[in-house]
Homo-oligomer: A and B are copies of this chain.
Amino acid sequence: MFRNKMPRYEILSEDAMATLDKGWRRLITEIGVEFMDDRALDLFRKNGQKVEDNKVFLDPDFVLEQVAKAPREFDIQARNPENNVHIGGDAMAFSAVYGPPFVREGEVRRDATFDDFQRFAKLAQSFPVLDSAGGVVCEPNDTPLDSRHLDMIRALQTLTDKIYMGNVVSGVNAADTIAMSSILFGSREAIEETPATISLINCNSPLRWDDRMLEAQFEYSAANQAVVLTPFILMGAMSPVTIPAALVQQITEALSGIALSQLIRPGSPTVFGSFLSNIDMQSGSPTFGTPESGIGLLCTGQIARHFGLPFRTGGGLTSSQVPDAQAGYEALMTMMPTFLAGANWVMHSAGWLEGGLVAGFEKFIVDIELLQMLQHEFTPMEIDEASMAFDAHEEVGHGGHFLGAMHTMERFRTCFYRPLLSSSENYERWNRNGGLDTAARATKIYQDKLEAYEPPPLDDAIAAELDEYVTRRRAELGD
Protein backbone atom coordinates (compact mmCIF):
# COMPACT_ATOMS: atom_id res chain seq x y z
CA MET A 1 0.00 0.00 0.00
CA PHE A 2 0.96 3.59 -0.45
CA ARG A 3 3.06 5.41 2.12
CA ASN A 4 3.35 9.15 1.84
CA LYS A 5 6.94 10.04 2.69
CA MET A 6 6.63 13.62 1.49
CA PRO A 7 6.39 16.51 3.96
CA ARG A 8 2.96 17.47 5.34
CA TYR A 9 1.66 20.87 4.32
CA GLU A 10 0.53 22.57 7.52
CA ILE A 11 -1.14 25.97 7.56
CA LEU A 12 -2.24 26.41 11.18
CA SER A 13 0.11 28.38 13.42
CA GLU A 14 0.63 27.35 17.05
CA ASP A 15 -1.55 30.30 18.06
CA ALA A 16 -4.30 29.18 15.73
CA MET A 17 -4.12 25.66 17.12
CA ALA A 18 -4.32 27.01 20.68
CA THR A 19 -7.41 29.03 19.75
CA LEU A 20 -9.08 25.97 18.24
CA ASP A 21 -8.13 23.99 21.33
CA LYS A 22 -9.85 26.53 23.57
CA GLY A 23 -12.82 26.46 21.22
CA TRP A 24 -13.64 22.75 21.35
CA ARG A 25 -13.07 22.64 25.10
CA ARG A 26 -15.70 25.32 25.57
CA LEU A 27 -18.12 23.76 23.08
CA ILE A 28 -17.94 20.25 24.52
CA THR A 29 -18.30 21.56 28.09
CA GLU A 30 -20.97 24.22 27.69
CA ILE A 31 -23.07 23.10 24.70
CA GLY A 32 -22.28 19.40 24.96
CA VAL A 33 -23.09 16.57 22.57
CA GLU A 34 -26.35 14.63 22.16
CA PHE A 35 -26.26 10.82 22.13
CA MET A 36 -29.59 9.27 21.13
CA ASP A 37 -28.89 5.95 22.85
CA ASP A 38 -29.37 5.05 26.49
CA ARG A 39 -26.35 2.75 26.66
CA ALA A 40 -24.15 5.64 25.55
CA LEU A 41 -25.71 7.99 28.11
CA ASP A 42 -25.26 5.39 30.85
CA LEU A 43 -21.61 4.89 29.97
CA PHE A 44 -20.90 8.61 30.15
CA ARG A 45 -22.91 9.01 33.39
CA LYS A 46 -21.15 6.09 35.01
CA ASN A 47 -17.85 7.68 34.09
CA GLY A 48 -18.69 10.91 35.85
CA GLN A 49 -19.90 13.02 32.95
CA LYS A 50 -22.86 15.36 33.38
CA VAL A 51 -25.89 14.07 31.45
CA GLU A 52 -29.16 15.99 30.92
CA ASP A 53 -31.84 14.35 28.75
CA ASN A 54 -29.77 13.18 25.77
CA LYS A 55 -27.11 15.83 26.19
CA VAL A 56 -23.73 14.95 27.59
CA PHE A 57 -21.61 17.81 28.88
CA LEU A 58 -18.15 16.41 28.66
CA ASP A 59 -15.05 17.25 30.59
CA PRO A 60 -12.41 17.86 27.89
CA ASP A 61 -9.66 16.27 29.97
CA PHE A 62 -11.78 13.16 30.46
CA VAL A 63 -12.31 13.08 26.69
CA LEU A 64 -8.56 13.29 26.09
CA GLU A 65 -7.98 10.48 28.59
CA GLN A 66 -10.31 8.25 26.57
CA VAL A 67 -8.80 9.39 23.27
CA ALA A 68 -5.36 8.45 24.58
CA LYS A 69 -6.53 4.81 24.77
CA ALA A 70 -7.19 4.75 21.02
CA PRO A 71 -4.41 3.14 18.97
CA ARG A 72 -2.39 5.69 16.96
CA GLU A 73 -1.99 3.12 14.18
CA PHE A 74 -3.52 -0.27 13.50
CA ASP A 75 -3.96 -2.93 10.83
CA ILE A 76 -7.03 -4.20 9.04
CA GLN A 77 -6.76 -7.67 7.59
CA ALA A 78 -7.93 -8.61 4.13
CA ARG A 79 -8.65 -12.20 3.10
CA ASN A 80 -5.70 -11.85 0.75
CA PRO A 81 -2.91 -10.90 3.19
CA GLU A 82 -1.20 -8.92 0.41
CA ASN A 83 -4.12 -6.53 0.62
CA ASN A 84 -3.92 -5.96 4.38
CA VAL A 85 -4.16 -2.30 5.18
CA HIS A 86 -2.36 -0.21 7.75
CA ILE A 87 -4.24 2.78 9.12
CA GLY A 88 -2.17 5.65 10.51
CA GLY A 89 1.31 7.09 10.32
CA ASP A 90 2.41 7.77 6.77
CA ALA A 91 0.12 5.07 5.32
CA MET A 92 -2.69 6.23 3.04
CA ALA A 93 -5.50 3.82 2.12
CA PHE A 94 -8.07 4.51 -0.57
CA SER A 95 -11.62 3.25 -0.99
CA ALA A 96 -14.27 3.91 -3.62
CA VAL A 97 -17.30 6.19 -3.44
CA TYR A 98 -19.85 5.41 -0.72
CA GLY A 99 -23.59 5.86 -0.71
CA PRO A 100 -24.91 7.07 -4.11
CA PRO A 101 -28.49 6.05 -4.97
CA PHE A 102 -27.86 6.71 -8.69
CA VAL A 103 -25.29 5.71 -11.27
CA ARG A 104 -24.12 7.35 -14.45
CA GLU A 105 -22.60 5.58 -17.41
CA GLY A 106 -22.12 7.70 -20.49
CA GLU A 107 -25.21 9.79 -21.09
CA VAL A 108 -27.42 7.59 -18.92
CA ARG A 109 -28.22 8.49 -15.32
CA ARG A 110 -30.52 6.09 -13.51
CA ASP A 111 -31.26 4.25 -10.25
CA ALA A 112 -28.35 2.13 -9.11
CA THR A 113 -28.83 -1.64 -9.14
CA PHE A 114 -27.13 -4.60 -7.54
CA ASP A 115 -25.53 -5.31 -10.91
CA ASP A 116 -23.95 -1.85 -10.77
CA PHE A 117 -22.78 -2.55 -7.24
CA GLN A 118 -21.08 -5.75 -8.39
CA ARG A 119 -19.48 -4.06 -11.37
CA PHE A 120 -18.04 -1.32 -9.17
CA ALA A 121 -16.74 -3.95 -6.75
CA LYS A 122 -15.02 -5.69 -9.68
CA LEU A 123 -13.48 -2.42 -10.83
CA ALA A 124 -12.20 -1.73 -7.31
CA GLN A 125 -10.66 -5.19 -7.29
CA SER A 126 -9.04 -4.51 -10.69
CA PHE A 127 -7.07 -1.40 -9.75
CA PRO A 128 -4.23 -1.90 -7.25
CA VAL A 129 -4.32 1.79 -6.41
CA LEU A 130 -7.53 1.17 -4.47
CA ASP A 131 -7.19 -0.60 -1.13
CA SER A 132 -10.90 -1.26 -0.85
CA ALA A 133 -14.15 -1.08 -2.77
CA GLY A 134 -15.49 0.61 0.37
CA GLY A 135 -18.96 -0.32 1.58
CA VAL A 136 -22.08 1.01 -0.13
CA VAL A 137 -20.40 1.66 -3.50
CA CYS A 138 -23.91 2.44 -4.70
CA GLU A 139 -27.38 1.63 -3.35
CA PRO A 140 -28.65 -1.59 -4.97
CA ASN A 141 -32.19 -0.27 -5.30
CA ASP A 142 -33.48 -3.46 -6.95
CA THR A 143 -32.80 -5.59 -3.84
CA PRO A 144 -35.07 -5.79 -0.77
CA LEU A 145 -34.25 -3.06 1.73
CA ASP A 146 -34.05 -5.21 4.87
CA SER A 147 -31.61 -7.78 3.53
CA ARG A 148 -29.71 -5.59 1.08
CA HIS A 149 -26.73 -5.37 3.44
CA LEU A 150 -26.26 -9.14 3.22
CA ASP A 151 -25.97 -9.00 -0.56
CA MET A 152 -23.57 -6.10 -0.44
CA ILE A 153 -21.28 -7.61 2.20
CA ARG A 154 -21.17 -10.94 0.39
CA ALA A 155 -20.37 -9.22 -2.90
CA LEU A 156 -17.51 -7.27 -1.28
CA GLN A 157 -16.23 -10.45 0.37
CA THR A 158 -16.34 -12.60 -2.74
CA LEU A 159 -15.76 -10.28 -5.72
CA THR A 160 -12.81 -8.63 -4.02
CA ASP A 161 -10.11 -9.92 -1.72
CA LYS A 162 -9.48 -6.49 -0.27
CA ILE A 163 -10.72 -5.01 2.98
CA TYR A 164 -14.30 -3.75 3.09
CA MET A 165 -16.49 -1.46 5.13
CA GLY A 166 -19.25 -2.72 7.40
CA ASN A 167 -22.90 -1.85 7.14
CA VAL A 168 -24.07 0.83 9.59
CA VAL A 169 -27.79 1.15 8.93
CA SER A 170 -28.56 -0.53 12.27
CA GLY A 171 -27.07 -2.61 15.06
CA VAL A 172 -28.59 -5.69 13.40
CA ASN A 173 -26.82 -4.96 10.12
CA ALA A 174 -23.57 -4.42 11.98
CA ALA A 175 -24.01 -7.75 13.76
CA ASP A 176 -24.57 -9.43 10.37
CA THR A 177 -21.41 -7.82 9.03
CA ILE A 178 -19.46 -9.14 12.00
CA ALA A 179 -20.97 -12.60 11.67
CA MET A 180 -20.17 -12.80 7.96
CA SER A 181 -16.64 -11.54 8.60
CA SER A 182 -16.23 -14.20 11.27
CA ILE A 183 -17.16 -16.79 8.65
CA LEU A 184 -14.73 -15.34 6.08
CA PHE A 185 -11.83 -15.18 8.55
CA GLY A 186 -12.63 -18.40 10.42
CA SER A 187 -13.92 -17.12 13.75
CA ARG A 188 -14.94 -14.08 15.74
CA GLU A 189 -11.68 -14.39 17.65
CA ALA A 190 -9.74 -14.04 14.41
CA ILE A 191 -11.35 -10.71 13.61
CA GLU A 192 -11.25 -9.47 17.18
CA GLU A 193 -7.53 -10.02 17.21
CA THR A 194 -7.00 -8.05 14.00
CA PRO A 195 -9.96 -6.05 12.76
CA ALA A 196 -11.37 -7.16 9.41
CA THR A 197 -13.73 -4.25 8.83
CA ILE A 198 -13.76 -0.48 9.03
CA SER A 199 -17.11 1.27 9.28
CA LEU A 200 -18.40 4.77 8.85
CA ILE A 201 -20.22 6.25 11.84
CA ASN A 202 -21.63 9.62 10.77
CA CYS A 203 -22.57 12.33 13.21
CA ASN A 204 -25.90 14.05 12.67
CA SER A 205 -24.10 17.38 12.86
CA PRO A 206 -24.34 19.67 14.69
CA LEU A 207 -23.49 17.81 17.85
CA ARG A 208 -25.84 14.84 17.72
CA TRP A 209 -25.11 11.11 17.37
CA ASP A 210 -28.23 9.28 16.19
CA ASP A 211 -29.57 6.00 17.56
CA ARG A 212 -29.03 3.66 14.60
CA MET A 213 -25.46 4.76 13.97
CA LEU A 214 -24.76 4.40 17.70
CA GLU A 215 -26.19 0.87 17.70
CA ALA A 216 -23.81 -0.01 14.90
CA GLN A 217 -20.93 1.66 16.72
CA PHE A 218 -21.65 -0.40 19.85
CA GLU A 219 -21.52 -3.61 17.81
CA TYR A 220 -18.34 -2.74 15.97
CA SER A 221 -16.34 -1.29 18.85
CA ALA A 222 -17.33 -4.19 21.11
CA ALA A 223 -15.98 -6.55 18.43
CA ASN A 224 -12.78 -4.50 18.11
CA GLN A 225 -13.68 -3.48 14.56
CA ALA A 226 -12.49 -0.09 13.31
CA VAL A 227 -14.93 2.81 13.26
CA VAL A 228 -14.52 6.17 11.57
CA LEU A 229 -16.25 8.80 13.69
CA THR A 230 -17.21 11.39 11.14
CA PRO A 231 -18.71 14.82 11.67
CA PHE A 232 -20.82 15.38 8.54
CA ILE A 233 -20.44 19.09 7.96
CA LEU A 234 -21.61 21.24 5.10
CA MET A 235 -20.68 24.63 6.44
CA GLY A 236 -23.60 27.04 6.49
CA ALA A 237 -26.07 24.20 7.11
CA MET A 238 -24.62 21.75 9.64
CA SER A 239 -22.09 24.19 11.10
CA PRO A 240 -21.54 27.94 11.24
CA VAL A 241 -20.20 29.46 8.00
CA THR A 242 -16.72 30.18 9.35
CA ILE A 243 -14.07 27.50 8.86
CA PRO A 244 -12.62 27.84 12.39
CA ALA A 245 -16.08 27.22 13.86
CA ALA A 246 -16.49 24.16 11.65
CA LEU A 247 -13.09 22.87 12.77
CA VAL A 248 -13.95 23.35 16.44
CA GLN A 249 -17.26 21.58 15.96
CA GLN A 250 -15.52 18.80 14.05
CA ILE A 251 -13.07 18.25 16.90
CA THR A 252 -15.91 18.21 19.44
CA GLU A 253 -17.95 15.69 17.49
CA ALA A 254 -15.11 13.39 16.46
CA LEU A 255 -13.50 13.27 19.90
CA SER A 256 -16.83 12.66 21.65
CA GLY A 257 -17.48 9.71 19.32
CA ILE A 258 -13.98 8.33 19.79
CA ALA A 259 -14.33 8.67 23.56
CA LEU A 260 -17.50 6.58 23.40
CA SER A 261 -15.75 3.81 21.47
CA GLN A 262 -13.00 3.77 24.07
CA LEU A 263 -15.60 3.46 26.82
CA ILE A 264 -17.25 0.58 24.93
CA ARG A 265 -13.93 -1.20 24.50
CA PRO A 266 -10.70 0.49 25.55
CA GLY A 267 -8.07 0.30 22.80
CA SER A 268 -10.58 -0.40 20.04
CA PRO A 269 -9.49 1.07 16.70
CA THR A 270 -10.97 4.47 15.85
CA VAL A 271 -10.35 7.08 13.19
CA PHE A 272 -10.83 10.85 13.42
CA GLY A 273 -13.34 11.43 10.62
CA SER A 274 -13.92 14.49 8.51
CA PHE A 275 -16.46 15.22 5.83
CA LEU A 276 -16.19 18.96 5.51
CA SER A 277 -17.46 21.13 2.70
CA ASN A 278 -19.90 23.99 2.36
CA ILE A 279 -23.22 24.87 0.82
CA ASP A 280 -23.85 27.43 -1.88
CA MET A 281 -25.39 30.30 0.09
CA GLN A 282 -27.59 31.34 -2.83
CA SER A 283 -29.21 27.98 -3.53
CA GLY A 284 -28.52 25.95 -0.40
CA SER A 285 -26.99 23.23 -2.60
CA PRO A 286 -24.00 21.35 -1.24
CA THR A 287 -20.77 22.16 -3.08
CA PHE A 288 -17.59 20.09 -3.29
CA GLY A 289 -14.02 20.62 -4.35
CA THR A 290 -14.30 24.16 -3.02
CA PRO A 291 -11.44 26.30 -1.69
CA GLU A 292 -13.07 26.09 1.74
CA SER A 293 -13.05 22.29 1.68
CA GLY A 294 -9.37 22.33 0.66
CA ILE A 295 -8.48 24.55 3.60
CA GLY A 296 -10.60 22.45 5.94
CA LEU A 297 -8.85 19.33 4.75
CA LEU A 298 -5.35 20.68 5.34
CA CYS A 299 -6.33 21.85 8.83
CA THR A 300 -7.99 18.53 9.67
CA GLY A 301 -4.77 16.65 9.05
CA GLN A 302 -2.86 18.93 11.34
CA ILE A 303 -5.55 18.70 14.02
CA ALA A 304 -5.70 14.89 13.90
CA ARG A 305 -1.92 14.70 14.30
CA HIS A 306 -2.21 17.13 17.23
CA PHE A 307 -4.42 14.54 18.96
CA GLY A 308 -2.27 11.62 17.81
CA LEU A 309 -5.09 10.04 15.81
CA PRO A 310 -5.28 8.54 12.32
CA PHE A 311 -7.74 10.51 10.22
CA ARG A 312 -10.15 10.12 7.38
CA THR A 313 -10.97 12.80 4.87
CA GLY A 314 -10.79 13.77 1.24
CA GLY A 315 -11.56 11.88 -1.91
CA GLY A 316 -12.38 12.92 -5.46
CA LEU A 317 -15.40 15.07 -4.62
CA THR A 318 -17.29 17.22 -7.09
CA SER A 319 -20.69 18.84 -7.55
CA SER A 320 -20.55 18.30 -11.28
CA GLN A 321 -23.35 16.35 -12.91
CA VAL A 322 -21.08 14.78 -15.55
CA PRO A 323 -17.39 13.74 -15.78
CA ASP A 324 -16.34 17.03 -17.40
CA ALA A 325 -13.74 19.71 -16.71
CA GLN A 326 -15.38 20.71 -13.44
CA ALA A 327 -15.43 17.09 -12.27
CA GLY A 328 -11.72 16.88 -13.11
CA TYR A 329 -10.61 20.01 -11.31
CA GLU A 330 -12.92 19.66 -8.30
CA ALA A 331 -11.85 16.05 -7.75
CA LEU A 332 -8.21 17.13 -7.76
CA MET A 333 -9.05 20.17 -5.62
CA THR A 334 -9.89 17.71 -2.83
CA MET A 335 -7.50 14.90 -3.77
CA MET A 336 -4.35 17.04 -3.86
CA PRO A 337 -4.91 18.47 -0.33
CA THR A 338 -5.69 14.91 0.76
CA PHE A 339 -2.12 13.99 -0.18
CA LEU A 340 -0.66 17.23 1.17
CA ALA A 341 -2.39 16.49 4.48
CA GLY A 342 -1.46 12.80 4.40
CA ALA A 343 -4.96 11.47 5.11
CA ASN A 344 -4.90 7.88 6.37
CA TRP A 345 -8.28 6.58 5.26
CA VAL A 346 -9.54 8.19 2.07
CA MET A 347 -13.15 7.44 1.20
CA HIS A 348 -14.87 8.46 -2.04
CA SER A 349 -11.54 8.03 -3.84
CA ALA A 350 -13.13 6.82 -7.08
CA GLY A 351 -16.50 7.32 -8.75
CA TRP A 352 -18.02 10.23 -6.84
CA LEU A 353 -20.21 12.45 -9.01
CA GLU A 354 -23.01 15.01 -8.57
CA GLY A 355 -22.40 15.77 -4.91
CA GLY A 356 -22.30 12.09 -4.03
CA LEU A 357 -25.76 11.29 -5.42
CA VAL A 358 -24.26 9.48 -8.39
CA ALA A 359 -21.62 6.78 -8.74
CA GLY A 360 -20.09 7.39 -12.16
CA PHE A 361 -18.35 4.66 -14.12
CA GLU A 362 -16.35 7.15 -16.21
CA LYS A 363 -15.63 9.29 -13.17
CA PHE A 364 -14.29 6.16 -11.47
CA ILE A 365 -11.60 5.94 -14.14
CA VAL A 366 -10.81 9.66 -13.95
CA ASP A 367 -10.23 9.26 -10.23
CA ILE A 368 -8.05 6.18 -10.66
CA GLU A 369 -5.84 8.28 -12.93
CA LEU A 370 -5.67 11.04 -10.33
CA LEU A 371 -4.76 8.58 -7.57
CA GLN A 372 -2.04 6.99 -9.68
CA MET A 373 -0.61 10.38 -10.60
CA LEU A 374 -0.62 11.64 -7.04
CA GLN A 375 0.93 8.47 -5.64
CA HIS A 376 3.69 8.96 -8.18
CA GLU A 377 4.04 12.65 -7.37
CA PHE A 378 4.15 12.07 -3.62
CA THR A 379 6.96 9.54 -3.82
CA PRO A 380 10.28 11.18 -2.97
CA MET A 381 12.78 11.13 -5.82
CA GLU A 382 16.33 9.92 -5.51
CA ILE A 383 18.98 12.56 -5.87
CA ASP A 384 22.36 10.95 -6.34
CA GLU A 385 25.31 11.10 -8.69
CA ALA A 386 23.69 8.91 -11.38
CA SER A 387 20.55 11.05 -11.37
CA MET A 388 22.71 14.07 -12.29
CA ALA A 389 23.36 12.42 -15.67
CA PHE A 390 26.59 14.27 -16.32
CA ASP A 391 27.61 11.63 -18.87
CA ALA A 392 24.45 12.24 -20.84
CA HIS A 393 25.40 15.90 -21.19
CA GLU A 394 28.84 14.89 -22.41
CA GLU A 395 27.21 12.57 -24.92
CA VAL A 396 24.52 14.93 -26.19
CA GLY A 397 26.16 18.33 -26.17
CA HIS A 398 24.65 21.80 -26.61
CA GLY A 399 21.32 22.09 -28.42
CA GLY A 400 21.15 18.32 -28.95
CA HIS A 401 18.50 15.93 -27.75
CA PHE A 402 18.46 13.17 -25.22
CA LEU A 403 16.05 10.70 -26.79
CA GLY A 404 18.78 8.31 -27.89
CA ALA A 405 21.26 8.92 -25.07
CA MET A 406 22.51 5.91 -23.12
CA HIS A 407 21.22 7.42 -19.83
CA THR A 408 17.77 7.68 -21.45
CA MET A 409 17.85 4.19 -23.01
CA GLU A 410 18.58 2.67 -19.61
CA ARG A 411 15.59 4.38 -18.00
CA PHE A 412 12.95 5.11 -20.62
CA ARG A 413 10.51 2.40 -19.58
CA THR A 414 10.10 3.52 -16.01
CA CYS A 415 11.35 7.08 -15.80
CA PHE A 416 7.99 8.83 -16.09
CA TYR A 417 4.47 8.15 -14.93
CA ARG A 418 2.53 6.31 -17.63
CA PRO A 419 -1.04 7.54 -17.90
CA LEU A 420 -4.04 5.24 -17.90
CA LEU A 421 -6.51 7.75 -19.32
CA SER A 422 -4.83 11.02 -20.23
CA SER A 423 -4.02 11.56 -23.89
CA SER A 424 -1.06 13.41 -25.32
CA GLU A 425 -1.74 12.33 -28.90
CA ASN A 426 -1.20 15.03 -31.47
CA TYR A 427 -4.35 16.47 -32.95
CA GLU A 428 -4.24 14.55 -36.24
CA ARG A 429 -3.72 11.20 -34.56
CA TRP A 430 -6.28 11.94 -31.85
CA ASN A 431 -8.79 12.89 -34.55
CA ARG A 432 -8.05 9.74 -36.56
CA ASN A 433 -8.67 7.70 -33.41
CA GLY A 434 -12.16 9.10 -33.13
CA GLY A 435 -11.51 12.44 -31.41
CA LEU A 436 -12.66 10.97 -28.10
CA ASP A 437 -12.72 13.20 -25.06
CA THR A 438 -11.61 11.96 -21.66
CA ALA A 439 -15.03 10.64 -20.64
CA ALA A 440 -15.40 8.66 -23.86
CA ARG A 441 -11.95 7.13 -23.40
CA ALA A 442 -12.87 6.28 -19.80
CA THR A 443 -15.89 4.28 -21.03
CA LYS A 444 -13.63 1.99 -23.00
CA ILE A 445 -11.23 1.57 -20.09
CA TYR A 446 -13.82 0.47 -17.52
CA GLN A 447 -15.52 -1.81 -20.03
CA ASP A 448 -12.21 -3.49 -20.85
CA LYS A 449 -11.41 -3.87 -17.17
CA LEU A 450 -14.75 -5.52 -16.48
CA GLU A 451 -14.19 -7.83 -19.42
CA ALA A 452 -10.80 -8.86 -18.07
CA TYR A 453 -11.99 -9.25 -14.47
CA GLU A 454 -11.34 -12.56 -12.75
CA PRO A 455 -12.75 -13.31 -9.30
CA PRO A 456 -10.11 -13.86 -6.62
CA PRO A 457 -10.14 -17.53 -5.51
CA LEU A 458 -12.20 -18.35 -2.42
CA ASP A 459 -12.44 -21.60 -0.48
CA ASP A 460 -15.65 -23.41 -1.51
CA ALA A 461 -16.58 -24.29 2.07
CA ILE A 462 -16.37 -20.64 3.13
CA ALA A 463 -18.39 -19.54 0.11
CA ALA A 464 -21.05 -22.14 0.95
CA GLU A 465 -21.17 -21.06 4.57
CA LEU A 466 -21.61 -17.43 3.54
CA ASP A 467 -24.41 -18.42 1.15
CA GLU A 468 -26.10 -20.37 3.88
CA TYR A 469 -25.85 -17.46 6.29
CA VAL A 470 -27.29 -15.04 3.75
CA THR A 471 -30.16 -17.38 2.87
CA ARG A 472 -31.05 -17.98 6.50
CA ARG A 473 -30.85 -14.34 7.51
CA ARG A 474 -32.80 -13.20 4.47
CA ALA A 475 -35.62 -15.52 5.49
CA GLU A 476 -35.46 -14.29 9.10
CA LEU A 477 -35.64 -10.69 7.87
CA GLY A 478 -38.75 -11.55 5.86
CA ASP A 479 -37.36 -10.77 2.39
Task: List the interface of chain A (C-beta within 8 A of B).
Answer: 6-7, 9-12, 15-16, 19-20, 23, 26-27, 30-34, 54-55, 109, 204, 206-208, 235-245, 248-249, 278, 280-292, 294-295, 319-333, 336, 340, 354-355, 357, 366, 369-370, 373-374, 376-377, 380-384, 386-390, 392-394, 396-403, 405, 407-408, 411-413, 415-419, 421-427, 430, 435, 437-439, 442
Contact = CB atoms under 8 A, between A and B. Distances in A.
Contacts of A325: 323-325, 327-328, 366, 437-439, 442
Instruction: Indicate how many identical chains form the complex.
Output: 2
Contact of A292 (B15, B370, B416): B416
Contact of A281 (B321, B354, B374, B415): B415
A192 B418 CA distance: 48
Contacts of A239: 402
A5 to B, nearest CB: 10
A342 to B, nearest CB: 12
Q: What are the 7 tightest A-B residue pairs by CB atom distance, in nearest-first order?
A: A328-B328, A240-B389, A291-B377, A325-B328, A245-B389, A328-B329, A319-B424
29 contacts: A26-B390, A55-B398, A109-B427, A206-B400, A208-B398, A236-B416, A240-B402, A240-B405, A242-B411, A243-B381, A243-B387, A245-B389, A248-B388, A278-B416, A285-B424, A286-B424, A287-B424, A291-B374, A291-B376, A294-B377, A320-B438, A321-B423, A324-B324, A324-B325, A325-B437, A326-B437, A329-B369, A340-B340, A357-B427
A382 B426 CA distance: 47
Contacts of A374: 291
Contact of A244 (B34, B357, B388, B427): B388
Contact of A33 (B23, B326, B398, B402): B398
Contacts of A380: 11
Contacts of A280: 416, 424
A150 B245 CA distance: 55
Contacts of A407: 240-242, 245
* Best-surrounded residue of A55, A238, A328, A382 (most CB of chain B within 10 A): A328
Contacts of A411: 241-242
A393 B30 CA distance: 10
Given A240-B407, A416-B281, A204 B389 contact: no
B408 A241 contact: yes
B290 A321 contact: no
A31 B206 contact: no
B383 A20 contact: yes
B403 A355 contact: no
Contact of A9 (B7, B34, B357, B426): B7
Contact of A324 (B321, B330, B437): B437
Contacts of A437: 321-322, 324-326
A430 B320 CA distance: 10
Contacts of A399: 34, 204, 206-208
Contacts of A278: 416
Contacts of A19: 383-384, 388
Contacts of A10: 7
Nearest to A412: B281
Nearest to A241: B415
Contacts of A284: 403
Contacts of A321: 423, 425, 427, 430, 435, 437
A387 B245 contact: yes
A285 B238 CA distance: 48
Contacts of A354: 427
B417 A291 contact: yes
Contacts of A319: 422-424
B332 A333 contact: yes
A249 B387 CA distance: 12
A393 B31 contact: yes
Instruction: Specify which of A6, A34, A290, A424 lies most central, judged by the most chain B CB atoms within 10 Å of its CB.
Output: A424
